[in-house]
Amino acid sequence: MTNSLYLERLRQLSTRLVSLQKPIRILDAIKWPPGIEQRFRAREGRELPALESDFYQRQTLAFDAGNISQLLKELKNDVRRQLGRDDALGKILQATIDQYQIVIELLLARGTQQFGHFSKQLYGSASDNIRGDRKTLRQLGERLCHIFSLPAVEHLNRPYTNHINAEEAVRMLDGRMRDYFGADEVRVQISDDIVSDASAGGDRIKINRRSHFSELDIQVLEVHEGWVHIGTTLNGREQPWATWLSVGSPRITAIQEGMAVLLETLTFSSFPQRARRISDRVVAVDLAEQGADFCEVYRYFLERGVSEHDSYRVTQRVFRGGTLTGGSVFTKDISYVKGFVENVNFIRSAIQSGVPEIIPMLFVGKVTLDDLPLLYERYLDGVIAGPKYLPPMFKNLNGLYVWFGFSSSLSEMNIARVQQHFNKLFRQLPTATPIQPPTDAELD
């Protein structure tokens, strides 16, 4: 097979997958109707949410599951036949096809015990070990929850009020997207059909009409939804041959969400309360996996000082699509912590192994860490296009190298002994309210 024939076949097969997966939207297929939270909280969280037993069966999928499944099967056979069973890019393409087959099984099993089984196949479990470590995700989540609940959080807390309405948030984000991507590349718009405050898909950010935001929320949306989720989508669309890199199956979720959280951290956009919410998600998944029902998970967070709204939100995210009595739940929310740790470890390892040039490939499209060495090789061959949109710290790796170099060295210190030393000094401090700099709104 000539190189030009191979590339044309790769492009055609990739484009077929992009087309087939288009109507498969997991979150749309498992979302709850508005009003459930109000009725649940009106009963003081003592009764399971009022979802009828046949709720999911009455929610028609936006695609013909049997037909799409058959077309995916035919596509996988064509990938093997046209690219060869041992072709490396073909194997990534096949793995992505397999993921969409499991997604179809997941959606057909909504509201049943099998839903949780397929969710674990796609996203993993809170009881999984962190790659290369003995700790489980639940253990890490508990540790992070503790850190982000320490008294120091209250010392840092300041009244970042949610004074920005949806229309103003759209205006602010639209300007920031233009600055980062250029004019007319990304759309920011009001939405009435999303449950979360905001969401990103393709080249568009949706803002919930009913939501209000703080200045920090806008910063988080800029880097999380814009730089990462939309940035990797647009970079994937720049691919001349591997066009499937523009779409994300569940196999890439952890790296996507983890990178988004990492960018929040590197740009100092995040804050302890948000980090706590992300950590809580791992704990919520584990509790529900172990059999706690919706009310029990909800009360677990209430008893730990989480607000009624946030307790409901973290619980609802886990139980959508599954069974309200626990055991079979949506495990996607482990991806934020899991992906953050794996991305950090990947970057540190690339630096220590002397191959920092591979790091920008994290943004080449929708990828997994295991894909990156091969994709980098194909980038050097000219088959894969390099990422067009890169966050500043990934364009010039010098600062990132130093940051991770210092963090790698510091992680080897015995923090318990260091803290004992400084605690002797801190005990002498008087109790005082920390000095807070004025916000942008206050300066205006």
b/e map 230-248, b = 16+ CB within 10 Å = bbbbbbbbbbebbbbbbbb
pLDDT the model gives residue 230 = 96
Query: Quick check: 331 and 345 in contact, CB under 8 A?
Result: no
Q: Is 417 part of a structural domain of the chain?
A: no
Distance (Å, whole) CA 235 – CA 252 = 15
pLDDT the model gives residue 430 = 77
Distance (Å, whole) CA 296 – CA 205 = 34
Distance (Å, whole) CA 29 – CA 49 = 18
Mean pLDDT of the region 73-77: 98
CB atoms within 10 A of CB 178: 14
In this predicted model, what pLDDT tens digit does every residue of 143-193 receive, in sequence order? Answer: 887 787 777 776 666 556 788 999 999 999 999 999 999 998 999 999 987
363: enclosing H helix or E strand: none
Query: Quick check: 228 and 311 in contact, CB under 8 A?
Result: no
Q: Is 331 exposed, middle or buried (0-12, 13-18, 19+ CB in 10 A)?
A: buried
pLDDT exceeds cutoff 70 at 1: no
With bands split at pLDDT 50, 70 and 90, how would you rate the model's confidence at 434?
low
pLDDT the model gives residue 436 = 59
Q: Is 151 part of a structural domain of the chain?
A: yes
pTM of the predicted structure, to 2 decimals: 0.90
CB atoms within 10 A of CB 50: 12
Mean pLDDT of the region 278-292: 95
Q: Is 175 part of a structural domain of the chain?
A: no
In this predicted model, what pLDDT tens digit does every residue of 212-243 receive, in sequence order? Answer: 999 989 999 999 999 999 999 999 999 999 99
pLDDT exceeds cutoff 80 at 408: no
pLDDT the model gives residue 185 = 93
Total number of domains constituting the chain: 1
Q: Which domain holds residue 117?
A: 3-160+214-410
pLDDT the model gives residue 159 = 59
In this predicted model, what pLDDT tens digit does every residue of 106-138 receive, in sequence order? Answer: 999 999 999 999 999 999 999 998 887 788 988
Whose CA is closest to 72, among 91, 96, 89?
96
pLDDT the model gives residue 156 = 67
Residue 150 corresponds to which amino acid? L
Q: Is 436 part of a structural domain of the chain?
A: no
pLDDT exceeds cutoff 70 at 429: yes
352: enclosing H helix or E strand: helix 335-352
Mean pLDDT (the chain, rounded): 91
pLDDT the model gives residue 439 = 57
Question: C-alpha 79: how far from its chain's center?
Answer: 29
Q: Is 432 part of a structural domain of the chain?
A: no
Q: Tell me how far CA of residue 313 lies from CA of 47, 54, 284, 296, 364, in angstroms.
A: 16, 22, 11, 14, 32
Percent of the chain at pLDDT above 90?
A: 71
pLDDT the model gives residue 355 = 94
Structure tokens at 440: 């942008």
pLDDT the model gives residue 440 = 55
Token pair 């210092």: residue: 406
Whose CA is closest to 205, among 174, 184, 161, 181?
174
Quick one: how many helices (H) and strands (E) in the chain?
Answer: 21, 5
189: enclosing H helix or E strand: strand 187-191
Q: Tell me how far CA of residue 345 lies from CA of 141, 144, 255, 332, in angstroms.
A: 17, 17, 12, 20
Question: C-alpha 431: how far from its chain's center?
Answer: 39
Helix, strand, or coil (residue 198): strand
Q: Is 103 part of a structural domain of the chain?
A: yes
pLDDT the model gives residue 143 = 84
Q: Is 442 part of a structural domain of the chain?
A: no
With bands split at pLDDT 50, 70 and 90, how would you rate the model's confidence at 330?
very high
Mean pLDDT of the region 369-374: 96
Distance (Å, whole) CA 290 – CA 285 = 9
With bands split at pLDDT 50, 70 and 90, how would you rate the model's confidence at 435?
low
Helix, strand, or coil (residue 201): strand
Distance (Å, whole) CA 441 – CA 444 = 5
Q: Which of 33-37, 217-221, 332-336 shows the lowest per-residue confidence on average (mean pLDDT)?
A: 33-37
Mean pLDDT of the region 361-389: 96
Structure tokens at 407: 């963090």
**Which one has a higher pLDDT value, 422 or 380?**
380
Percent of the chain at pLDDT above 70?
A: 95
In this predicted model, what pLDDT tens digit does every residue of 54-64 receive, in sequence order? Answer: 899 999 999 99
Q: Which of 24-33, 267-276, 389-398 shows the lowest per-residue confidence on average (mean pLDDT)?
A: 267-276
pLDDT exceeds cutoff 70 at 299: yes
Distance (Å, whole) CA 231 – CA 224 = 10
pLDDT the model gives residue 8 = 97
Q: Is 169 part of a structural domain of the chain?
A: no
Q: Partners of 200 in the beta sheet?
A: 205
Q: Which of 105-114, 138-147, 411-420 has the highest mean pLDDT?
A: 105-114
Mean pLDDT of the region 331-355: 93
DSSP conformation class of 244: G
